[in-house]
Amino acid sequence: MSEYDIVIIGGGPAGLTAGLYTARARLKTLLLEKIAPGGQAALAWTIENYPGFPEGIGGPELMERTRKQAEKYGLEIKSGEVVKVSASSEDERSKRKIEKIVNTKEEEYKSVALIVATGTRPRKLEIPGEERLIGRGVSYCATCDGPLFKNRKVVVVGGGDAAVEEALFLSKFAEKVTLIHRRDGLRATKIMQERAVSNPKLEFLWKSVVTEILGETEVEGVKVRNLETGKDLTLEAKGIFVYIGTAPNTGFLKGVVEMDEEGFIITDENMETSVKGIYACGDVRKKLLRQVVTACGEGATAGFAAGQYVGKWEDETKR
């Protein structure tokens, strides 16, 4: 079993920044990432609101640079999907140096402090046809799949930043993009709304929801219900991109730290959760604003606070 000062779970902007700070503090740190570092941010074709890049920067490039920067200072990154976390009780704390245990499917790791930066995953519509046609026209990542829909008609569902940004990206390839939203106005940032309404390839279906995705082996269209009139219509489309918000990746932490009703982790201003020595940062936290810049700021705070916790722990165990 490997022992560390700090284990970080999740390699998006929050986890990588936490790792940058703990590595520079010369704390032995392991970052565990399910697939590859970068998180959701690495799926953004461009990030325009991260300070210091007036022309914007591609999500993959920003995340690759952040990973390199953290590794340069000694952050160790391994792949592994965490399935369980446990924290020893107060009694055990006085007897043992190590108090957090992290299990992946294959291995077990021990650490003094733990930082959770597991982010979120896209929410699904949960309508007929969705599961069956994932990867066959149903997508949650326009950056990944958009170019496959050159000169095709596609549909985007949602009215937030993600839906509008990705609809604009899709308009570079698609013949037509129909954005379907359940309200009569978008909630995305104003500048994105302005671009969307002035884009000739974008059309809007307001006060409408998709009730079914049509097609046997690939998407052929969607069934849409107007919430005001109750009338249904069928729209021809080869792709449907779903951006209806996100759900936190916290299933493995159930019963360990305090969360809100949706599973977002509750922390104090130092990013500490209800369990001493366990911190959370980035999109997985209950908070107002989910952006790369806020994730980085929280990662820095969590890394610094976790470092202080490890220092105190070492002082106590020496006595």
DSSP bridge partners of 101: 86, 110
Nearest 5°: phi and psi at 210? Answer: -85, 130
297 near ligand NAP, judged by CB under 6 A: no
Pick the closer one to ligand NAP by CB: 125 or 174. Answer: 125
Least separation in angstroms between CB 49 and ligand NAP: 6
Could you say which of 84, 107, 148, 245 contacts ligand NAP (CB under 6 A)? 245
DSSP bridge partners of 179: 156, 204
Count interface residues toward ligand NAP (CB under 6 A): 19
Pick the closer one to ligand NAP by CB: 156 or 278. Answer: 156
Site for ligand NAP in 172-191 (CB under 6 A): 182-183, 187
305 near ligand NAP, judged by CB under 6 A: no
* Number of other CB atoms surrounding residue 35 within 10 Å: 9
- Count Cβ neighbours within 10 Å for each residue of 244-255 and write b for 16 or more, e otherwise: bebebbbebbee
Q: Which residue has the tokens 């549909």?
A: 155
Least separation in angstroms between CB 318 and ligand NAP: 43
Pick the closer one to ligand NAP by CB: 246 or 267. Answer: 246
Pick the closer one to ligand NAP by CB: 2 or 199. Answer: 199
Among 8, 51, 36, CA closest to 292: 51
CA distance 208 to 210: 7
Could you say which of 11, 19, 159, 282 contacts ligand NAP (CB under 6 A)? 159
Q: Which residues are catalytic?
A: 141, 144-145
Could you say which of 17, 66, 139, 246 contacts ligand NAP (CB under 6 A)? 246
The alpha-carbon radius of gyration of the chain (Å, integer) is 22
